[in-house]
Amino acid sequence: MEIEFTLDGETVRCPEGVSVAGALFHLRRRTARTTPRTCAPRSLFCGMGVCFDCVMEIDGRDGVRTCMTFVRTGMTVRTQRGVTSIGAAR
């Protein structure tokens, strides 16, 4: 069964029961976020929630790890640009 969600303003479909990172690969999308200084693209790296390279804005919250978040019908996912709450100085 497939579900629909919004990715960067576009309605897309993916298999039910996959992570957001898995849905990105299913959709042949590789960039989850860009770096603050050089805008270099980043994507899934560790796949287990340690590296934070795969973070995106999900349902209005920035810095959400896509490898640890399962896709849901109606979810809104956006490419993360620059500094996030996880990347801010503490």
The string of pLDDT tens digits covering residues 41-78 is 999 899 898 988 999 999 999 999 999 999 999 999 99
- Provide the residue ranges of all domains of the chain, joining segments of one domain with +: 2-81
Question: 67, 90, 64: which is closest to 77 by C-alpha?
Answer: 64
DSSP assigned state of 29: -
Percent of the chain with pLDDT strictly greater than 90: 72
Which CATH class name applies to 2-81?
Answer: alpha beta
Report pTM.
0.86
Please name the residues in contact with 15: beta carbons below 8 A apart, sequence gap of 6 or more.
Answer: 1, 2, 3, 23, 26
Say whether pLDDT at 90 is over 70.
Answer: no
Distance in Å from the first CA to the final CA of the chain: 42
8 Å CB contact between 22 and 68: no
Say whether pLDDT at 88 is over 70.
Answer: no
